[in-house]
Every structure is written in C-alpha cells, then in structure tokens.
A and B are shown apart, each in its own frame.
Chain A
Amino acid sequence: MHAAFTVPLLVPRRHRHRRIIATSAASNATRLFLLLNLAAVAAAASAHTTWSSSSGSTQQHLVMDPNQMCKRARWSRGKMADICQNKPALLNQIARGVALGQTECQWQFRHRRWNCTSAKRSIKKVMLRDTRETGFVNAILAAGITFQVTRACTRGEQIGCSCAKKKKRKSKKKDPPLPEGDWQWDGCGENVEFGIKRSKDFLDTRYKKRSDMKTLVKLHNYGAGRLAIKNNMRTVCKCHGLSGSCTLKTCTRKMPSFREIGNKLKERFDGAAKVIAGNDGQSFIPEGETIKSPGKVDLVYSEESPSFCLPNPALGSFGTQGRVCNDTSQGEEGCGILCCGRGYDVRYEMVRTNCNCTFHYCCEVKCETCIVPTRISTCL
C-alpha cells in the first residue's frame, strides 16, 4: 500500500518492481492522504495506458480534455472547432499528446512538493493561476501535442498530415493538400512542422484576439514547449554523391525522445523568468531591471507559486506530509526542501526489489528478487 509514497504517482512498472513488505503504522492523517494519493495513482496509471492503448475511454482524468474542450467550443468557429468537428483521428492524437505531456510532467515533478498530480483537480487548479508550475504544464502539454501529432504523421497515419512547405507565403490558403505534382517536384516537408501547426491550431487560436497578461504568458509558454522539440531535433546525414562521397549530402531530422524534451523544459522551468505587463499592453517585460528579457525558448510566469507545503484545496495543494524524501540530498527531493522544514521520520524496512536482471531482446526480462533493507524517510 505504501507503494504510493515510494513511487511518485506514475511509472507503473517501477511500481511493480518495488514492494514494501513491512509497513509501519500510519496515522489517521496519513491514511487520509494515502487515499488521495491512491486516486492520483489510478489517474496517472490510466493516463499512461491511454497513451499506449488506442481507446480514449479514460480521458476524463486529462488536465485538458480535448473532448470537453470541444464540447465547449461547439458553437464557435475557427481552427479548433474544425478539428473538433471534422478530424476525430487528429483529436484522438491530440488527446494522447495531452496525456503524454501530463505523464512526463508527473515524472519530471516526481520529487517536487507539487508532483503534477491530477487528483482532485489539482492540476486544473494550478492551471487556473499563472505560476511557474502553470508555465511548465502549459509548455509540456503543447510539446506533448506536437510530439504525438508528429509521431502519428511519421507513422503514416491518415490524420491529414500535409507536407508543410516553405510555400506558405505564396499560397494564402490554409494548408491545402499537396498536389501530386508538388510531391514529385520537391518531395514532402518535415512532419514536425505539421505537429507544430496543429498544436498551435488547437491551443493558440482560442486566444488570438486576447492580449491580457495571462494569455500572453500562456501563449509564450506554449511556444516555448513546441520549440523545445523543434530546437532539439536530431540530425543525421547521409552522403550519396559520386561513389557515395559527400558531394551530395542529405540530412534528415528526427524528434528527440519525449524524456529529453521533458528534461529540457525542466531546465527551463528551473530558470523561468518572472514577468510583468509591458507598457504597450501587448508584451511583457522581466520583473527585475537587471534580468535579461526572456527569449522564445524560456518559460515565463507572472505569479509567485504557493509553497505547496500544506494542504490547500483552493490551490490544488495536498501538502507534503507523508511524502518520501531523500535525507541525504540537498536537491528538491531532499527532505530539507520537500518537508518544508517540518522534519522527517526515518524507518527501516525490508523492501523487495528486482535485482540481477538479465534482458533478452526483444521483450523478456528475467530478474531475481532481492530483499533489501532500505532506509525510508517520510515527511512529517
């Protein structure tokens, strides 16, 4: 049962590998918290399976449920409504993208006081504000959608992937399907452009006409999330000139793994800049005079984050009581930070873990089970 604490609310396979045998008595408060967290585990786990299985039945846990967004946008027009009404396959990929972003958010924040849980609408409450966490969630969701749509295109799925070309300037039409002649003439462009476009269509167009601070920050962070993919594409080149020499060289790009994108965004999160509204009302400027103004890839926020130390339903905070921490670390997973200075409880338990694993390609892992005495610290 305590697995819920050792595992930060996601990655079900880790969850499987580690099981605590002996448990210490939990206080009433902890028990309550445990229930909450279990709900979160269920949500996270189902979000995870959503991504890998094709059904969209568990999407109610998504922070930004595309289907619900579509319901709200039923009467509106524009690109988002177009996706909602006419492109169910694309919508499905977008939903998966949101789930992917959310899962990655939980992994990146697994050691933080607020661990990106969607239990009790926590993530939605965080999203209503404009804190550093909000910025990160927005960025990673935009990145998730871009990633998933691009991936689907790369698999050749028929979700209307068009060969986005540099020709946009010439033809004013909204991405016309590429005529056969163009394909013959200069091939097909990169899929990531299509992913970026669809992510923009779905997320950004709703806010196009607004220019309040929150919207500006939100759009900026969406863009930063997408750029985290685009700027970190892997390039591989192949020479195919005379006798295979490099007189002719063609390069091709591939998306990085989503974990790497998450890492990049986490770095941006750690260095996010606080901004205030600019004088023209159309932009924002960094709060401190000396801080250089944030670039396109930087995350921004306009509100200080709550401490998330104590439970506060209005903020979506569950507090950190009962969370497992690392008492030797100085970082965010360390007990000093995670427990907000309240101190922590140390106990020793026999934990059953997998060890001496051997892996056989493709799909077989053979492990022995070891029982290891483990020191577990939990926040008071």
Chain B
Amino acid sequence: MPGTILENLSGKKLSVLVTILLTFQIACFLVGLIAPSPATSQGILTTVCVDRDPKNKEINRWFTRSCPTQVHLSDRQSTAGLDANNLVFVAEMPHYSFDYSRWQQNLMGILQIDMVYQEDQKLLDPVMELTLDARLAYSDKDINKGKTPWQYYAHSEVKRYMECTFDEKSAHNDKNGYPYDCGMVPLFELGSLHHDYYLLNLRLPYNRTANKNVGLSRLEDVHIHTIHMNGGFTKVWVALKTFFFPIIIGIMVWFWHRVHILNRTPALLEYMLMSLGATLAFLNLPLEYLTLSFEMSYMLILSDIRQGVFYAMLLSFWLVFAGEHMLIQDHGEKNSLKLYWKHLSTIVVGCFCLLIFDLCERGVQLVNPFYSIWVTPIGTNLALSFIILAGISASIYFIFLCYMIWKVFRNISLKRAVLPSMSQARRLHYEGIIYRFNFLMLATVICAAVTVISFILSQVSEGQSKWDENMELELSSALHTGVYGMWNVYICAMLMLYAPSHKQWPDDPICNDGEEVEFSRLPTEGTANEISSLTSFAAKTSMD
C-alpha cells in the first residue's frame, strides 16, 4: 500500500524539512531587502518648442531639448501669434547624462497637463477629451560616447480622457490664472527598454471642426512622468529565478522518477503536481537574460501569460487536491480531470477572459505603444465585461473551492469520531495523517493570507511611507521577492511531500483486529489510483 512521503516521514525529518524550507523563505525575503524598490519614476517637464512648419508631415523631423525656438507658456508675450499646431512638447528620456540600461526592462509614460483658469472662460468640463499626436524616437550611444541620430520608433494620434477639477474655494475671487487640478493620463508603454535614449514629441492639435482639443484651457506646463523597472530589482529578481529554476527542475525529475519506479500509472494528483511544477518552472525560466541582447517588446505580455498560467494551474491544483481527498471511490476506475470539468471550467473561462483582455491591451501595444483599450467607449465596455466575467468566474471558483474544503473537513471530523474504536497503532497513524493534511491545508491558507497581506502592505507602503525620509528599508521589493519565494517553496514542498514513498506500510500486527480486516477489504486498496492512505481512510470510513 504505497503512501506519500508526507505520511511516512517521521516527525523529526518533517521538522528538518520544514526548517530548511522556512530558511529558504526567509532568505528570499532578506534578498528582497537589498534590492531597491521595483520601479522608479522620473518626472520630466517638457520643453515647448515652436514648429514653424506644422504642415510638414515628414516623420523624421525631431525636436529636441535644444531646439532653436523655445517658448514658455506662462509668458504670454512669447506665445503671441502662435497656433496650437506650432507647439511641440519635447521630453528627452532619461534626464541628465544618464542612459537607460536594458536591466530596466520596460518604460511607461504618463502625461500630466497643468492648466490655469482663463479669465471669463466658463469652467472646464470635469472630464475632457484630449487628442494627442505623439511620436517616439530612439537613439543609442555611439562609440565616441555621443548619440546616434534620432530614429523613428512609433507615431500615433490617440485620444485620452482627462479629469480636471477646480478648487473654487481656494481661488476666491481671483480665478484668473488659478490652476486646475488635472489627473494623470497614461500615454505609452514600451515592453522593452532596448535603446539608450528615447525622445517624445507631443502635439496637441487644435481643430474646431474635428472637435479636437476644444475643451482645453490655457496650458502652463506639460509633464511626462516616466516609470521604469529598477535595474537592481530586476537583477535580484532574475537571480531568484535562476536559483529556483534548476531546483524545481531537479525536484520534478526526482518526483517523476519516484512515480515511475512504482508499477502503476500515475494518479491524477501526481499529474497535477507535475503540471504545477512545470508551470512554475516556466515562470522561473529566466528569459530576462535574453532581453539584454534582443529587443523583446513582447516581454510584458509574455510575463503576464507566464504568471497567468501559473496561477491557473495553482487554482486547479487546489481544487483537485481537495476533491481527491474527499471523493468516495464508488467506482473503481481511475479519476480523471473530467470529474472536475464544472469546477475547472470556471478557471478556464476566467483565465481566457483575462488573456483576451491582455491581448487587446498589451498585444496591440506591441504595434502601437500609445494604444489603450480604455479610451473608446466600446473598448472600455469590452475590457470591463471581460474583467467582470473573469471576476464572476473567480468568485464561482472560490465558492466551489470553499465548498469542497468544507466537505473534506466535515468528512475528516466525522471520521475522527470513529477513530477511538480503532486499534491504537492505526489510530495514531491516521491521526498523524489528518494532522499533516491539516498542516498542509494550513500552509496553503497561510501562503494565501501572506500574499493578500503583502499585497495590501505594498499598496499602503507605496501610498505613503515611500515618501517618509526615515524609512530606510525598501519593503515593497522584499514583499515581492518574499511572496515569490514563498510560492516556490510551497510548490517544492508539495512536490516533495506528495511524492510516492518507497516505504511500505509496516506489516502491523493489528491486522487480526476485526476493524483492520475491514480496512484491508477496501475496494480501493492496491488500486493504482490510490495516492494517499488518507484518501483510502476517507473512502473507507464513508463506507461505514
């Protein structure tokens, strides 16, 4: 009667294993402490250049910070006689004498427009439509530490919605020139930061007939906030992946070997564990190294897919795990995924919705980095419906899962009542199994809780304490690496503890007990689909 390692491991060995795993876990957290925050932002105040020839549609005409005619929008004289199409807002990224490193992975641009109240104008609508003509160029360092000429990267005319409020109370009676408070507008998203320098040329074309930018008030400043990953964080992250990848591969090989030396076909739960390990290995695969030499703008979407596949597999595993520990084997055939189609379909539907949403947003961004699904009403509805659908399937899934876990625990507690009537050795043994099963359920709940808590913590720390000078430690990275390491450790533990044991059940002298005879008559005994004796226990007791 083959069991899993979890059942046959002595308490001492188990505690040693748990200690080692916990050490890894703490190490992951500590590694995160040396890393900087995951991403940094840099604010750039655009330089306003004058395009004397706005009709010229030549695409490779770039305005840089050192353009010949610059104006200050707050200075009314210098903008006199200028047309909206004359103004080009220029942002060179990054600032100063820096250049982007490929370790910084990706780049996001956020637009923020400062407007002031214009005398005698009526207040702006709280939500206005912006039309942006945005062009991106790139440049690299050349051999003599100079820059190569700007090269065209992307161009698009896009619409955005911007929310602006006006604080009439503070403005008192002197509204003229008082600033509006305008929200940020996501502008572009580059999946790979392959080049050293980027240049943004932004125009706000005005056209009354085409209804372009008619709602604007007087502009004072145009800010571009750029967000990129921190090289240090990427390095730590990739190091973590590089460390875990061979480990998980090794454990998987060992696990599969263990399964194969038994003379039976692998059980469903073993398949599930293998696939879970495989998705984790896929997630751990340090593809980021490739971005150092190749331009892989699909990295964002790829990492979304990698994470998505992993989470989908993890959720499915929980479901099957709970199911396999509860199911009453009234038919001798092998369990298969078909039994769980109802439950699993919720995951499939949810993930599929998110995948489509992701492809619509980030997939299109591969072609046009300025694209956003949220700017058209149809796009917004589409995105929202996909997200809502995914949310609904997620909640159905959790209802299923909770119901199954509740059933397992009810089963266990019911059977506990039968335990005293068993012989002592057996009873101790089964109590141990129940204890370890509970222990692992507890581990799952703890992992999930820690994930949720760290998510909340990182939200809070991002919101406030980041600006607190006294905070020396960068907690958000540690939370990220900690959670990442935790799921790695969790799955490693699952693979190790649920691997089939080579130990045989002790040929106990209790077999002459009447109760135990009943045990040996279990229909499931010796069948290949039996994975743990707990299952057999559950099945047996349910027969009582």
Chain A interface residues toward B at CB < 8 A: 11, 13-14, 17, 52-53, 151, 153-156, 158, 161, 166, 180, 183-188, 190-191, 233-238, 240, 242-244, 246-254, 256-257, 259-260, 263, 354-363, 365, 367
CB distance from A14 to the nearest CB of B (A): 7
Chain B residues within an 8 Å CB radius of A11: 177
Chain B residues within an 8 Å CB radius of A14: 176
Chain B residues within an 8 Å CB radius of A52: 72, 74-75, 77-78
Chain B residues within an 8 Å CB radius of A363: 76, 79-84
Chain A residues within an 8 Å CB radius of B307: 242
Contact A251 B41 (CB under 8 A): yes
Contact B36 A250 (CB under 8 A): no
Contact B45 A154 (CB under 8 A): yes
Contact A188 B232 (CB under 8 A): no
B275: Cβ under 8 A from any A Cβ: no
Contact B219 A362 (CB under 8 A): yes
Q: List 26 A-B contacts (CB under 8 A).
A: A52-B72, A52-B78, A155-B44, A156-B47, A161-B95, A183-B98, A184-B231, A191-B43, A238-B41, A240-B227, A242-B304, A243-B354, A243-B362, A248-B480, A250-B40, A250-B462, A251-B41, A251-B466, A253-B43, A254-B223, A259-B177, A260-B170, A354-B120, A360-B206, A361-B204, A361-B214
CB distance from A184 to the nearest CB of B (A): 4
Contact B119 A252 (CB under 8 A): no
The distance in angstroms between the C-alpha atoms of A171 and B4, with both chains bound, is 55
Contact B37 A186 (CB under 8 A): yes
Q: What residue in chain B is nearest A151 (Cβ atoms)?
A: B45
The distance in angstroms between the C-alpha atoms of A367 and B75, with both chains bound, is 19
- What size tier do the contact residues of chain B reach? 35 or more
The distance in angstroms between the C-alpha atoms of A359 and B79, with both chains bound, is 14
The distance in angstroms between the C-alpha atoms of A260 and B179, with both chains bound, is 8
Chain A residues within an 8 Å CB radius of B458: 249
The distance in angstroms between the C-alpha atoms of A78 and B143, with both chains bound, is 39
B513: Cβ under 8 A from any A Cβ: no
Listed stretches B107-115, B148-156, B317-325; interface member: B107-115
Which of A190, A191, A362 makes the CB contact (< 8 A) with B83?
A: A362
B56: Cβ under 8 A from any A Cβ: no
Q: What residue in chain A is nearest B300 (Cβ atoms)?
A: A240
Which of B40, B78, B181, B467 makes the CB contact (< 8 A) with A253?
A: B467
B544: Cβ under 8 A from any A Cβ: no
Inter-chain residue pair count (beta carbon < 8 A): 187
Contact A188 B94 (CB under 8 A): yes
Q: What residue in chain B is nearest A11 (Cβ atoms)?
A: B177
Chain A residues within an 8 Å CB radius of B83: 362-363
Contact A249 B462 (CB under 8 A): yes
B103: Cβ under 8 A from any A Cβ: yes
The distance in angstroms between the C-alpha atoms of A360 and B87, with both chains bound, is 14
Most-contacted residue by chain B among A53, A180, A243, A259 (CB, 10 A): A243
CB distance from A149 to the nearest CB of B (A): 13
Contact B231 A359 (CB under 8 A): no
CB distance from B303 to the nearest CB of A (A): 8
Contact A238 B108 (CB under 8 A): yes
Contact A259 B96 (CB under 8 A): no
Which of A234, A254, A365 makes the CB contact (< 8 A) with B118?
A: A365
B65: Cβ under 8 A from any A Cβ: yes
Contact A156 B44 (CB under 8 A): yes
Chain B residues within an 8 Å CB radius of A260: 170, 179
Which of A154, A243, A257, A359 makes the CB contact (< 8 A) with B43?
A: A154
Chain B residues within an 8 Å CB radius of A246: 459
Contact B463 A187 (CB under 8 A): no
Chain A residues within an 8 Å CB radius of B233: 186
The distance in angstroms between the C-alpha atoms of A359 and B208, with both chains bound, is 12
CB distance from B345 to the nearest CB of A (A): 21
Contact A251 B79 (CB under 8 A): no
Contact A240 B39 (CB under 8 A): yes
CB distance from B434 to the nearest CB of A (A): 35
Chain A residues within an 8 Å CB radius of B228: 187
The distance in angstroms between the C-alpha atoms of A179 and B328, with both chains bound, is 66
Chain A residues within an 8 Å CB radius of B227: 238, 240, 250, 252
Which of A186, A242, A256 makes the CB contact (< 8 A) with B40?
A: A186
Secondary structure call for the A interface: mixed
CB distance from A143 to the nearest CB of B (A): 16
Chain B residues within an 8 Å CB radius of A256: 179
Indicate whether A188 sits within 8 Å of B308 (C-beta atoms), given known contacts A238-B184, A363-B80, A363-B82. Answer: no
Chain A residues within an 8 Å CB radius of B213: 361
Contact A251 B462 (CB under 8 A): yes
Taking A184-B104, A252-B110 as given, write out 8 further A-B residue pairs in contact, using a Cβ cutoff of 8 Å, ordered by the A residue number. Answer: A184-B103, A188-B42, A240-B227, A242-B304, A250-B37, A250-B40, A257-B116, A363-B76
Chain A residues within an 8 Å CB radius of B43: 154, 190-191, 252-254
The distance in angstroms between the C-alpha atoms of A183 and B357, with both chains bound, is 34
Contact B84 A362 (CB under 8 A): yes
Q: What residue in chain A is nearest B109 (Cβ atoms)?
A: A238
B516: Cβ under 8 A from any A Cβ: no
The distance in angstroms between the C-alpha atoms of A252 and B109, with both chains bound, is 11
CB distance from A215 to the nearest CB of B (A): 25
Cβ proximity bits B217-244 to A, threshold 8 Å, 1 near / 0 not: 1111001010110111101000000000
The distance in angstroms between the C-alpha atoms of A244 and B108, with both chains bound, is 11
Indicate whether A361 sits within 8 Å of B206 (C-beta atoms), given known contacts A246-B459, A251-B466, A252-B41. Answer: yes
Q: What residue in chain A is nearest B179 (Cβ atoms)?
A: A257
CB distance from A112 to the nearest CB of B (A): 14
Indicate whether A154 sits within 8 Å of B179 (C-beta atoms), given known contacts A361-B204, A362-B82. Answer: no
Contact B95 A238 (CB under 8 A): no
Chain A residues within an 8 Å CB radius of B84: 360-363
B30: Cβ under 8 A from any A Cβ: no
B525: Cβ under 8 A from any A Cβ: no
Chain B residues within an 8 Å CB radius of A238: 41, 108, 110, 184, 186, 225, 227
Most-contacted residue by chain B among A190, A357, A362 (CB, 10 A): A362
B92: Cβ under 8 A from any A Cβ: yes
Contact A236 B459 (CB under 8 A): no
CB distance from B7 to the nearest CB of A (A): 36
B183: Cβ under 8 A from any A Cβ: yes
Chain A residues within an 8 Å CB radius of B78: 52
Contact B357 A13 (CB under 8 A): no
Contact A359 B121 (CB under 8 A): yes
The distance in angstroms between the C-alpha atoms of A240 and B458, with both chains bound, is 13
CB distance from A169 to the nearest CB of B (A): 8
CB distance from A115 to the nearest CB of B (A): 14
B358: Cβ under 8 A from any A Cβ: yes
B129: Cβ under 8 A from any A Cβ: no
B411: Cβ under 8 A from any A Cβ: no
Which of A166, A250, A254, A359 makes the CB contact (< 8 A) with B39?
A: A250
Contact A236 B44 (CB under 8 A): no
Q: What residue in chain B is nearest A53 (Cβ atoms)?
A: B75
Q: What residue in chain B is nearest A252 (Cβ atoms)?
A: B41
The distance in angstroms between the C-alpha atoms of A186 and B77, with both chains bound, is 41
The distance in angstroms between the C-alpha atoms of A225 and B282, with both chains bound, is 54
Chain A residues within an 8 Å CB radius of B508: none
Contact A357 B82 (CB under 8 A): no
Q: What residue in chain A is nearest B114 (Cβ atoms)?
A: A257
Q: What residue in chain B is nearest A356 (Cβ atoms)?
A: B120
CB-CB contacts below 8 Å: B459-480 with A:
459, 462-463, 466-467, 469, 472, 480
CB distance from B139 to the nearest CB of A (A): 15
The distance in angstroms between the C-alpha atoms of A134 and B327, with both chains bound, is 82
